[in-house]
Amino acid sequence: MAVTRQTKTVSSQAMRESAMRVSLRDVALSVASSFADRLAARVAERESQIVLGLDPDPQRLWAPAVEVPSGERSPAARTAQAVLAHCRAVIAAAGPACVAVKPQLACFERLGAPGIAALVEVIAAAREAGLIVIADGKRGDVPVSAAAYAQALAGVTESPAGEIAGLGVDGFTANPLLGIDSLEPLIATGAGVFVLVRTSNPGAADLQDLELAGGGALWEQIARIVAELGTPRSCGLADVGAVFGATVPAHLERARELMPHAIFLLPGVGAQGGRVEELAPAFAAGRASALVSASRSIVEAGERRGGEDVEAAARAEAERLRELAWSLR
């Protein structure tokens, strides 16, 4: 899909400028320390284990965001501009209570080239707010394709014209069902890799809870792989972590036993029924050993409170979750 002049407001020039806005502090930290060490330091600094999920739905953006001039731009370009304004507003409102953001890549990719350009700007806004960036794309493929995903997310691509930078995120989610060799190129980036172990959706039980012939559930075998691939850093935690649904807290003690050094990314709080109060076993390895991800529960807090100021409501909900999670240990 070609990028036309209609996307000037979210253009390739904006993408280059956004990439350049990554702070020198973040560059220095990424060179000097591992993902796990950087995350642990940021958790301690911000006293937060909350990850702000950014899953922008073009039909449910905050009202000020949709008030963008229509002009002569394409629907994709106008929508991407509104999504960008929405995400910036959400980061400004809720970001101070969070340690990271987790943009859902599909929500930007469905808008075509303007959506990708908006994603780059959102990443820059998160970095400027001092937040770790975890891309939620659940990538997984044969090694040669996994290497391309690795370059796109957290590496560079060599070309006759020179190096082409990827998104430059700090971490991302990954699908392990193609096996260990599909994860190795992703891990080689040095970014945080959060492997799907036991997810929060109801259908997860169809596969992940199946008993293996050798004993134990499929998710337990994936957990063993995560533990094998992750090397503890100075903080005692590994760069290879686990996505583990907050909707199945009964499994957390066993999960921590199998993955003593993994950082758990815990989606499913709020809209999917997960409760922060039930997640204490995930934090057994330290305050930075688990991250509570919340998206709709924060972004739609104003709607649930009868149309209350959306920014104030999001800020209050993020702070409520921060205090609750911090109290677990």
**Is 34 in a helix, a strand, or coil?**
coil
* Catalytic choice (127, 138, 139, 322): 138
**Is 245 in a helix, a strand, or coil?**
coil
Helices (H) and strands (E) in the chain, counts: 14, 10
- Percent of the chain as helix, strand, coil, to the nearest 5: 50, 15, 35
Please report the pLDDT score of residue 273 as a whole number: 86
- The pTM of the full predicted model, rounded to 2 decimals, is 0.89
Distance CA 193, CA 230 (A): 9
- Beta-sheet strands, E only, within 34-175: 50-54, 100-103, 132-139, 156-157, 164-165, 171-174
Contacting residues for 106 by C-beta, under 8 A, at least 6 apart = 137
CA dihedral of 239, 289, 133, 46, whole degrees rounded to 10: -130
Render each residue's pLDDT in the chain as its tens digit; 329 residues.
Answer: 333 333 344 444 444 444 444 443 444 444 448 999 999 999 999 999 999 999 999 999 998 888 766 666 899 999 999 999 999 999 999 999 999 999 999 999 999 999 999 999 999 999 999 999 999 999 999 999 999 999 999 999 999 999 999 999 999 999 999 999 999 999 999 999 999 999 999 999 999 999 999 999 999 999 999 999 999 999 999 999 999 999 999 999 999 999 999 999 999 998 788 999 999 999 999 999 999 999 999 999 988 877 779 999 999 999 999 999 999 97
Contacting residues for 35 by C-beta, under 8 A, at least 6 apart = 170, 171, 190, 191, 192, 239
Cβ pair 186, 148 in contact under 8 A: no
Pairing of strands 264-266, 290-294: parallel
Please report the pLDDT score of residue 166 as a whole number: 97
Q: How far lies 293's CA from each of 128, 135, 256, 264, 284, in Å? A: 20, 12, 18, 10, 18
178: nearest Cα among 208, 207, 140, 211: 140
Burial class (CB in 10 A: 0-12, 13-18, 19+), 152: buried
Please report the pLDDT score of residue 27 as a whole number: 42
102 is catalytic: no
Domains belonging to the chain, first-starting first, are 11-326 (3.20.20.70)
